[in-house]
Structure formats: structure tokens, C-alpha cells
């Protein structure tokens, strides 16, 4: 429900609303499967990576920015209530508030690194495609310049031959 409401707040086009639900629902399923105190960082990293992978794929498939799909999906993972409860303690750095604060920091960092890690495969693929295009372009330019050079050399040789001929 939160994912759907944020998609309306961010004015996602109506034709893409159902696609916005995919990253959020997939990440929530991964989060529910890994949710425990033993996997604190992993239970935030993998759902964020799931959101990043699916949103990157959907953005290339639909030609929309990836943030259209990733922001509503990530907002369901943000530890807002946990962060708020760390500030409810009577003293700022008390025994009760400090462990909760560090849990919030671990979860938030895991979400950021999950999103960044999900972008790596798409960046590598895009860069390799661009490198292939650049290589082809440079090879074509090199072939053209060598043809021009050869024409220039041939024209010089022909000119030199003409100078050697006796004039009448």
C-alpha cells in the first residue's frame, strides 16, 4: 500500500503504476525471507539490490528514469520507526538509544550499498557497448585516413613521374 501511495505522490504515469509495484513487492519478499537479528545488514542489502536490479531493468525496458521504480520500492525498506525510537530515549547517547542508533546506521548503509551494487552490471554493459561503438568508429576513421593518405602518396608519386618526363 505504501508503494502505491508513493507512486501517486511522485506522479508516476498511470500506465506504469503496476510496474512500480514490482520492485517494491520483490524487495519486500526478500526482506521478509531474510528478516532476523542474525542477518541485519544482509536483510537490508539484498532487498535494496533487488530494487536496484529490477528498477534498472524496467527503466531500460520502458525508457523511464530508474528513480520512478526505485524510490517507491526503497521507501518501504527505510527504517523510519527504528530511527525514531532511537531518539525517544531520555538521554541522547544512553545505553538504550545507542544500539538502536547503530542498527539504523547499518540498515541505512546496507540500503545505499545495495542500490549502488545493483547499478554495476548495467554500467558495465553500457560501457562495453559504448566502447565497442567507439572502437568501431575509430577503426572506420583510421581506415578513411589511411585511404586519404594513400591517395595523397599516389598523387605525389604521379606528380613526381610527370616532372621526370621531358616537356615538349
Report field, pTM of the whole predicted structure over 0.75: no
Residue range of the domain that includes 127: 2-164
**Residue 52 · residue 114 · CB < 8 Å:** yes
Q: Which three cell numbers stand for residue 48?
A: 535494496
Residue-level pLDDT at 81: 60
Residue-level pLDDT at 12: 81
Residue-level pLDDT at 107: 85
Q: Which carries the bigger pLDDT value, residue 24 or residue 129?
A: 24
Non-local CB neighbours of 69 within 8 Å, separated by 6+ positions: 19, 20, 22, 23, 51, 54, 55, 58, 59
Burial string for 123-162 (b: 16+ CB within 10 Å, else e) reads: eeeeeeeeeeeeeeeeeeeeeeeeeeeeeeeeeeeeeeee
Whether residue 147 is predicted with pLDDT greater than 80 in this model: the reply is no
Q: Which carries the bigger pLDDT value, residue 100 or residue 112?
A: 112
Give the total number of structural domains in the chain: 1
pLDDT band at 49 (very low <50, low <70, confident <90, very high): very high
Amino acid at each position: 500500500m505504501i508503494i502505491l501511495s508513493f507512486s501517486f505522490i511522485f506522479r508516476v504515469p498511470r500506465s506504469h503504476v503496476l510496474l512500480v509495484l514490482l520492485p517494491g513487492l520483490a524487495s519486500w519478499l526478500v526482506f521478509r525471507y531474510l528478516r532476523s537479528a542474525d542477518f541485519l545488514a544482509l536483510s537490508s542489502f539484498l532487498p535494496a539490490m533487488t530494487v536496484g536490479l529490477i528498477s534498472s531493468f524496467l527503466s531500460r525496458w520502458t525508457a523511464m528514469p530508474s528513480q520512478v521504480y526505485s524510490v517507491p520500492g526503497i521507501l518501504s525498506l527505510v527504517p523510519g520507526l527504528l530511527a525514531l525510537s532511537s531518539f525517544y530515549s531520555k538521554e541522547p547517547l544512553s545505553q538504550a538509544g545507542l544500539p538502536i542508533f547503530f542498527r539504523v546506521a547499518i540498515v541505512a548503509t546496507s540500503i545505499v550499498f545495495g542500490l549502488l551494487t545493483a547499478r554495476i552490471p548495467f554500467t558495465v554493459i553500457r560501457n562495453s557497448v559504448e566502447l565497442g561503438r567507439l572502437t568501431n568508429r575509430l577503426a572506420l576513421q583510421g581506415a578513411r585516413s589511411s585511404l586519404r593518405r594513400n591517395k595523397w602518396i599516389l598523387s605525389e608519386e604521379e606528380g613526381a613521374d610527370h616532372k621526370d618526363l621531358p616537356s615538349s
